[in-house]
Amino acid sequence: MVKLSGGNNVAICPMPVTLVGSIVNGHPNFMAVGWIARVNMSPPLVSLGLNHGSATRSAILENKEFSINFPSSKMVRETDYCGLTSGKKIDKSNIFTVFYGNSHQAPMISECPLSLECTLIESHDYASHTCIIGEIIGSYIDESCLTDGKPDQIKIDPLLLTMPDNTYWRIGEKVGKAWHEGKSLIDKD
Ligand SMILES: Cc1cc2nc3c(=O)[nH]c(=O)nc-3n(C[C@H](O)[C@H](O)[C@H](O)COP(=O)(O)O)c2cc1C
């Protein structure tokens, strides 16, 4: 097989597109974020890559609390809007119905099937982005998105992103069961 160099500016795909909630100028604000990953089991930690110019980065560093909301695929227009506009110039507080958990600095979105309430654990500045490490202190899920009491990703219908084609997607075909399909190769040994 011929392999070509793909350079080093490579996107990890697909990404879930999230809406990160914080309080900017006294109002709830939401930023579209695709650079998100779970990074520790217990305590449950997540990482975000936030550009230095975003209002969200400054708000999280100041308030130490934020939310991560998972929009469904039908929220594509509102989500994209939150990635095209900055809370530095535009009041984004009226796009969604906002609710709060235990923190008043972590506004969450009623229309999103899944929302996480987080506290800032640490941050690292890099050249263009700041890596935010947050601990999940609470989660809120629509009852209608559970199957047998567990989150059902087909019902949640998360909005996904691929780059560099900058395209939104939804979950596709199931291809196997995790921590299971490889067992047949272990048995062969
Ligand atoms: C689909 C999508 C994903 C994005 N992902 C990120 C990201 O992971 N990190 C980032 O710094 N900016 C990302 N952006 C850009 C920010 O959403 C944008 O800078 C936004 O205006 C910041 O909002 P704020 O200033 O209100 O915080 C993304 C934009 C879109 C449309």
What are the b/e assignments for 10-31, b being 16+ CB within 10 Å? Answer: eeeebbbbbbbbbbbeeebbbb
What number is the average pLDDT over the span 86-107?
97
Tokens for 148? 């047998």
Structural domains of the chain ordered from first start: 15-188 (2.30.110.10)
Given pLDDT bands bounded at 50, 70 and 90, which one contains residue 77?
A: very high
For ligand 1, atom 30, name the residue with the nearest CA: 83
For ligand 1, atom 7, name the residue with the nearest CA: 33
Q: Which atom of ligand 1 is nearest to the CA of 54?
A: 25
What percent of the chain is modeled with pLDDT above 90? 98
What number is the average pLDDT over the span 63-72?
98
- Confirm or reject: Cβ of 29 under 6 Å from ligand 1: yes
The span from the CA of 166 to the CA of 13, in Å, is 11
Residue 189 has pLDDT above 70, yes or no: no
